[in-house]
Copies of this chain bind each other. A is one copy, B any other.
Amino acid sequence: MKNSYEKNVISKATIDRLPLYFRTLRLSQVEGIEIISSEELGQRLGITPEQIRKDLASFGQFGKKGVGYYIKELISNVGKILGLDNHWHIAVIGVGHLGWALAHSRNFDSLGFKLVAMFDTDPNKIGQCIKGVEVLSLECLKEVMQEQTIHIGIITVPEFYAQGVADKLVAAGVRGIWNFAPMKINVPDTVRVINEDLSVGLSSLSFYLARQTEID
């Protein structure tokens, strides 16, 4: 039971690499590959083979020494580790451009997530449909969540409203929040929050370019 992840603390860095492994493994599977070595997988990802072996080993022994990893088996295992087999129900709150884009993303479907509701306060948006899911009034949030479980709320409202939406989600019993508003939100620590502040990526790119310029 040494490597059971209930006991060991897994680093955030490791967890953030698992989705990359999962994606690349599935891609390799489509190409018809059945067995892959950490070396080969590392090549495709730009990650060292040692790192990959270490990451995987913290959850169990998935490979065969002298052989490699059976892709089909490994995909299934990594998928389970990531909890994708739970087929989480997600709701988008704030159907602006970004919310709209996320709701359309096929990428999330293919990872097993299921869009079950969308909410907005704008009467022009309420009633619109994406993939057979209707945009509802934010007022209905709690009610809808009681009818059909919503595990994950995606916050794509302007930053000023983010905390209010988070409060509503928490009150309605949400388990996790994916927050795109560039603003810290406070929730009880039974609720998981992942912040996805897009200005960080662009600003850090700016940093590197500026520094390069200076050095030249």
Contact = CB atoms under 8 A, between A and B. Distances in A.
A67 to B, nearest CB: 25
Contact of A194 (B101, B152, B204): B204
Contacts of A176: 205-206, 208-209
Nearest to A214: B6
Total identical chains: 2
Interface string A38-56: 0000001110000000000
Nearest to A151: B209
Instruction: Report the contact-size class of chain A (Cβ under 8 Å from the partner).
Output: 35 or more
A111 interface: yes
Interface in A11-55: 12, 15-16, 18-20, 22-23, 44-46
Given A18-B203, A97-B104, A192-B209, 20 more contacts: A6-B211, A16-B204, A19-B203, A23-B199, A44-B184, A81-B207, A82-B206, A82-B210, A84-B206, A86-B210, A88-B206, A98-B105, A107-B182, A111-B199, A111-B206, A151-B209, A178-B201, A178-B202, A194-B202, A196-B201
